[in-house]
Amino acid sequence: MNDGIILIDKPAGMTSFGVVARVKRVLSEQAGKKVKVGHTGTLDPFATGLMIIVVGKECKNAGTYSKLDKVYEATIRLGQTSSTGDPEGEITDVSGYIPSRAAIDQALAQFRGEITQRPPIYSAIKVNGQRAYKLARRGEEVIIPTRQITIFSLELVDYKYPELMIRAHVSSGTYIRTLAEDIGSELGVGAYCTQLRRMSIGERSIEKAQTLADLGLID
């Protein structure tokens, strides 16, 4: 492939940049020259799911793909918080209170529609020209402005304390880790995201994606 898109099902434990690097290496080897490859929005290392990889001339349209709505499925652990909002951070016990199903439903209702969200400091957002997560890891103060996002739908898929599973259709720029933390705050028990999977980007679904193993990029 010289120009176009590749739909990848990213595995857990790999960065988005790592996925791009593997695809770029293989395509460049096949073409016998350097092939331009990019992504249209990162997924956290612990997360899995759909990535749209742009190749060649299609790289100029990366911004168009990144602005599309997305659907995620996430598992949220109640009663604890994480310094990064995910399993990779420092975990702190907050509360042993067990919210009822009605309380969960009521909390989720607060986040449907247009809301204000502050992206996490452990994110790829640039602050003064540097990635926020790099500043945070160095212990520097990171202040990221709030932003308006839209949560078109937010469904409770399953709830067995201390974990609840949600499915969210959201606008571009939404951070599910932050949503998990905010749900925990709304319930008064704390929470963080333990699993995250991107199911779709715009009209493109994970069902059409290939794994890195399918492409011969990992064993």
For residues 119 and 125, the answer to whether their CB atoms sit within 8 Å is: yes
Q: Quick check: is 158 catalytic?
A: no
For residues 180 and 191, the answer to whether their CB atoms sit within 8 Å is: yes
* From 9, 44, 86, 182, the catalytic residue: 44
For residues 199 and 7, the answer to whether their CB atoms sit within 8 Å is: no
Residues with active-site annotation: 44
